[in-house]
Amino acid sequence: MFVSLLVSALSVLCPLGQTSLPLVVNTWPFKNATAAAWRTLQSGGSVLDAVEMGCACCEMEQCDGSVGYGGSPDEYGETTLDAMIMNGNTMEVGAVADLRRIKNAIGVARAVMERTDHTLLVGESASVFAENMGFIAEDLTTNKSLNIFTQWLKGNCQPNYRKNVFPDPSMSCGPYKPKATLNQRKRVAQHANTRSHDTIGMVALDQNGHVAAGTSTNGLTHKVPGRVGDSPIVGAGAYADSSAGAATATGDGDVMMRFLPSYLAVELMRAGADPSAACKTAISRIKRHYSDFFGAIICANTTGHFGAACNKVPGFSQFHYMVSNSESDTPLMKSVDCI
Ligand SMILES: *[C@@H]1O[C@H](CO)[C@@H](O)[C@H](O)[C@H]1NC(C)=O
Ligand SMILES: *[C@@H]1O[C@H](CO)[C@@H](O)[C@H](O)[C@H]1NC(C)=O
Ligand SMILES: *[C@@H]1O[C@H](CO)[C@@H](O)[C@H](O)[C@H]1NC(C)=O
């Protein structure tokens, strides 16, 4: 009796999350996206609405050329989009990959979640689904993406992500055929100084402890057509569980998706890890195998505490991300030193 009185007195004196919820956190200094998500929460929208609006803002603004239309042309010169949204209360997920001709990839991801029993739709069929759901089909190519593509062709298609094919992909445009023997080939380095930022990943929490996460990207420039990165893969690009927290990752998706860093970070927070520590462990796990991978992750727990971590490589020693919570009216940029 006495103990329970003491506990309830404490919870009045020191209410959990008083200063830190609601919360929006996203990768890179994509401030307008943070503001769009925050406004959505403030005007009564759900955390899913916030994540959708935040990512959609980046899709419209073509954040850094790495989200939305007109960026990252593949080997054919086409821009394709990957996106995911996850509801941390119900564990529902909707995702699209290799989506063509539709600008609002996060919107289509949400439609997959809400209008099918599936989790992930890909390629042409995802575009047909989107059109049926009322999304407008339009060309995602712009003069800018066309220019990136023609410069790449002129430069003998470098960088080039193929290996163990002939003619030698380090100096030709193919068409490629498989080589009889497999050789080790150094991975094409994807350091921050040679590429733009690559994904918006966003996490939102409301005052009731409802958590959501989402991503949107146009992937890797000059990728082999059909390539899907980490962003639309559950537990890789993002993960949300209202009983533990949420995380979202950005960087060299081909490597990062092999380690499910967002899932790992959320499980570490469930076990009591501080968000920064959970993020660091998720990065270290990848580093053990790929010491020079380019990547970062942000983590938030259910009380609205957050952190981030990144892998230090040439040209990338600090990662910037955005935060909105009740402590400030405008989104704040945060930085973390890479490990
Ligand atoms: C952010 O929004 C402001 C105001 O609408 C706009 O002027 C600015 O260009 C936007 N930033 C980016 C990077 O698009
Ligand atoms: C794209 O390039 C074409 C021809 O080079 C030009 O007519 C057009 O105005 C350009 N569009 C934009 C949006 O710059
Ligand atoms: C979230 O992380 C903070 C900072 O480490 C910690 O004080 C808090 O207890 C954590 N919340 C939960 C629910 O674990």
CB 279 within 8 A of CB 309: yes
Residue of 199, 215, 217, 302 marked active site: 199
- Rounded CA separation 130/111 (Å): 8
302 lines ligand 3 (CB under 6 A): yes
Give the pLDDT score at 100. Answer: 98
305 Cα: distance to centroid of ligand 3 (angstroms): 6
Give the pLDDT score at 181. Answer: 87
Pocket residue to mutate for ligand 3, from 21, 301, 302, 306, most atoms within 8 A of Cβ: 301
199 is catalytic: yes
Percent of the chain residues topping a pLDDT of 90: 87
pLDDT in tens, 250-303: 999 999 999 999 999 999 999 999 999 999 999 999 999 999 999 999 999 999
Residue with tokens 């958590």, as numbered in its chain:
211
For residue 244, is pLDDT > 70? yes
Q: What angle do CA 230, 45, 94 make, to 5 degrees?
A: 30
274 lines ligand 1 (CB under 6 A): no
Tokens read off for 197: 């930022």
**Looking at the domain 20-140+192-337, which fold is it?**
Glutamine Phosphoribosylpyrophosphate, subunit 1, domain 1 (3.60.20)
For residue 74, is pLDDT > 80? yes
Give the pLDDT score at 29. Answer: 96
92 lines ligand 1 (CB under 6 A): no
The alpha carbon of 13 is separated from its chain's Cα centroid by a whole number of angstroms, namely: 38
The whole-model pTM stands at 0.92
Domain ranges of the chain: 20-140+192-337
275 lines ligand 3 (CB under 6 A): yes
For residue 326, is pLDDT > 50? yes
Query: Band of the pLDDT at 18, cuts 50, 70, 90?
Result: very low
- The residue whose CA has the least distance to atom 2 of ligand 1 is 32
